[in-house]
Structure 1
């Protein structure tokens, strides 16, 4: 599979849906080297050991009762694309309610979606999936081994230490969703509401704003747990990753902004500052109160003024 196959898939996009999802998968994989997945037994066991260690440490630090997903997959980039096409398709299902689209529009939609998946597939390291759009009993952990190995090499970081850091980060998300069984549905309903409005030609700013606020809490709490639970210092890894992003050049930076990656970085920083303030006031276990219900999530204003949340939510 190569770029020619990718172009053919997009050009041949067909069907009655707004996006030809079969063509999306073919085109995205055609534009992406799958990467090697020839792990030794010791390397495979290393991923599992890191997940177990992360679960134990994060349980102790957070006080949350949760378990990791039964499915832990070590993937190449093509595996990740296949796994995420179904998530994308379900997320954008409301777009199909508007009826058939002209072929040109379908081709553009297919090319855009395939390009986004291909771009992310070359960079994603791990994923607690689905953060969105999954039944509570079907959550999974993915590790994209070729990207982890490549990133560790380019950052001049020890592979096993870097792999362990990624595992800890993804297990923090398992902790959040394990502590808040309502969270997946809450995020899905917000996303689908916003997409449904787009399908009708309107922009539901409130739905997307609430979604962004919730995701900021998700990423910020994960950062708090990482700071308190990871059993080694990792400031050097975080700094090197930030420098790597800055070295992507103007085109890479533009694509990242179009896909919202700059927002994700802002979510980490803004959310971390909120949870550090709450944890300083009530401890890490007290900060976990955000997951009691949708009503205990911080508002957008409270993210910038943790004292407001502390005053609203009693100990």
Structure 2
């Protein structure tokens, strides 16, 4: 990691109001140690086997069929930074020509914010299913950030082989959601695009943000449910330790997490999982899967807190 190099990259950023993406890439790389990616053939094979096992078990558990990316991309932190900035640059294109409020200052501030955020996240992300919301040539990708996975397994004091398999199940659970709900990818893309477009006009897109947040609460909660149902090894200890990790951190980490919305992501996990636990307890896993039948089946805000209302609307019981 080279903070001086990162600062130098940011000082050279374009002074216009948008983001200097080239400078953001250079800065994020300088601020982040890429991590070790020296993999043996056996470890590469284990990643592939875990992916196949997750695909097989999740299909059997949920009674669904879905496709996966042909390979799992085992990355270091710099690889993940590149993939993430590629997506962000496309998503924020409507803001590219928006003039800054402080000419000569806004651009570097925007660039520093993006670079710092992505650098921080690159040291925490373990795996990621990427539906490539704005890509036309590829349907999806699946990444694992190997250095983070290895270091986190050591931090949690769990066998890296078991932890690696558990993360594979989580990311494949996300692939299952997008596979059984072909409407989900354009639904999310439209809302992200709409939010950015409204921001470009100076408006606050509360409605679209609320819709996006509810959808992501469902995406995260259902994936948590499905991976735990399908995982072929005891996982309660892993769940407890990872939940503790999500909630831990010093004062600086807490502030950064709030600024980046990581506290909101944790809320999405917890709130979504509580919703689906209630549905499964009442009607089983099949009823929970009805959420993916059509966009109208996504729970409303009030239904997230009262799952019975969602069941009454989407899966009403037959009258006696």
| TM-score where L is the length of structure 1 | 0.95
Q: How many residues align?
A: 315
1:88 counterpart residue number = 88
- CA drift at 1:15: 7.3
5 Å-filtered alignment, 1:64-83, equals: 64-83=64-83
- CA drift at 1:11: 0.7
Structure 2: 5+ residue stretches without partners: none
3-state SS, counterpart of residue 72 of structure 2? strand
Instruction: Encode CA deviations 1:287-307: one digit per residue, 9 max, x unaligned.
Output: 111111111111111111111
Q: State how far apart, in whole Å, the 2-side matches of 1:252 and 1:259 are.
A: 10
Q: State how far apart, in whole Å, the 1-side matches of 2:282 and 2:246 are.
A: 33
3-state SS, counterpart of residue 98 of structure 1? coil
- CA drift at 1:247: 3.9
3-state SS, counterpart of residue 201 of structure 1? coil
Q: State how far apart, in whole Å, the 2-side matches of 1:271 and 1:131 are.
A: 23
2:37 counterpart residue number = 37
2:209 counterpart residue number = 208
Instruction: Encode CA deviations 1:119-139: one digit per residue, 9 max, x unaligned.
Output: 000000000013643448430
1:277 counterpart residue number = 278
1:237 counterpart residue number = 238
Q: State how far apart, in whole Å, the 2-side matches of 1:313 and 1:182 are.
A: 17
Q: State how far apart, in whole Å, the 2-side matches of 1:10 and 1:267 are.
A: 33
- CA drift at 1:118: 0.3
Q: State how far apart, in whole Å, the 1-side matches of 2:214 and 2:207 are.
A: 10
5 Å-filtered alignment, 1:260-275, equals: 260-275=261-276
Instruction: Encode CA deviations 1:164-195: one digit per residue, 9 max, x unaligned.
Output: 00000000000000011111111111112112
5 Å-filtered alignment, 1:247-262, equals: 247-262=248-263
Q: CA distance change for structure 1 residues 53 and 183 in 2, over 3 Å: closer, same or farther?
A: same
1:28 aligns with 2:31: no
Q: CA distance change for structure 1 residues 311 and 245 in 2, over 3 Å: closer, same or farther?
A: closer
Deviates more, 1:236-245 or 1:146-155: 236-245
1:118 counterpart residue number = 119
- CA drift at 1:103: 2.4
Q: State how far apart, in whole Å, the 2-side matches of 1:140 and 1:173 are.
A: 11
Q: CA distance change for structure 1 residues 12 and 99 in 2, over 3 Å: closer, same or farther?
A: same
3-state SS, counterpart of residue 37 of structure 2? coil
Q: CA distance change for structure 1 residues 16 and 140 in 2, over 3 Å: closer, same or farther?
A: same
3-state SS, counterpart of residue 103 of structure 1? coil
Structure 1: 5+ residue stretches without partners: none
Deviates more, 1:189-198 or 1:139-148: 189-198
5 Å-filtered alignment, 1:69-218, equals: 69-99=69-99, 102-130=103-131, 132-135=133-136, 137-218=138-219
2:220 counterpart residue number = 219
